[in-house]
Chains A and B, each alone.
Chain A
């Protein structure tokens, strides 16, 4: 089976998270399979994504 992923954009391009550390980053999570991701932008402009397992936290 051939595959090309160009025609289906990803669910959400990098969002502008603003500088600094969001205090309630959990609340703005984007669900993806087993994980919830929260996008940030570091002080120097680089992207940072934090992933947390949905449901009970991993031990």
Chain B
């Protein structure tokens, strides 16, 4: 069981999950715990010879009932696939899986915030290469969604709606759009190729989306990650996070969007969080968002 401690200086919770030190670390493909279980071989996390999408409770959870949840979402039984290479219908199905997990976990009294995310690449700390994401159900409201709610209050309405309008008017940082979704490098991006994939309509969460909007979201996400991979012709590491309304008992708002935080600043150089970022909380970037947006927009078109 994890332990939470309050860091008074930072006004935040820190979670100690010391059992996670023992988690599987970059196993060989023969020992991949996310592959299907093959006849005559040891049972993996998924005791079936084939599957489409699987979700299971994390064996090394940061949170667990009755104080939250931690789940693993395996996108495919193909060890070598990625969100970029999956067939479009599979990515569409994944949107419905996310939605179903958000609904079920968010309904729990011990879950105030559902965070769906994917870490891709050893550069961001991936410990298993098999294509997968994770879901954390936090028993408290974490700082980032709390800041988003504060932004709504400060701006006198939905901050994402206002930022989306501004990006569409400016039109220099938009990298992809369809009828339901717009993707852009934000005006004040912290990461060189940070991208926000935002629903055009104000949808607090996946639950409020029409089926067609989920299809369009899947299309946009896949368009962006294919563009990432095409940018420097290499698998592009990133952290991808789905931002939605909190699931606290008191109703609160949100605007569904997906944020990508890729750590590469060039094809072979990483952006590190160093003195200014960690000590002062101020990001210093080597790349202007307009420049990275232009490169990425071209890469997305090339990869389509």
A contacts, CB < 8 Å to B:
1-6, 8-11, 21, 25, 32-35, 37, 42, 46-53, 57-59
Contact = CB atoms under 8 A, between A and B. Distances in A.
Interface of B: 45-48, 51-57, 59, 87, 89-90, 92-93, 95-97, 99-100, 103-104, 106-107, 109, 202, 204-205, 207-208, 211, 214, 245, 247-254
A53 B52 contact: yes
15 contacts: A2-B251, A2-B253, A33-B99, A33-B211, A34-B92, A35-B100, A47-B56, A48-B47, A49-B54, A50-B46, A50-B52, A51-B97, A51-B100, A53-B90, A58-B90
Contacts of B104: 10
Contact of B251 (A4, A9, A50): A4
Contacts, number: 112
Contacts of A46: 56-57, 59
A3 B51 CA distance: 33
Given A34-B96, A46-B59, A47-B57, A3 B245 contact: yes
Nearest to A34: B96
A35 B89 contact: no
A3 to B, nearest CB: 4
B107 A51 contact: no
Given A2-B252, A2-B253, A10-B104, A21 B47 contact: yes
Nearest to A56: B89
A44 B121 CA distance: 29
Contacts of A47: 56-57
B39 to A, nearest CB: 12
Given A34-B93, A34-B211, A50 B48 contact: yes
B103 A49 contact: no
Contacts of A2: 204, 245, 251-253
Given A4-B251, A50-B48, A58-B90, A35 B53 contact: yes
A47 to B, nearest CB: 5
Contact of A1 (B89, B96, B99, B208): B208
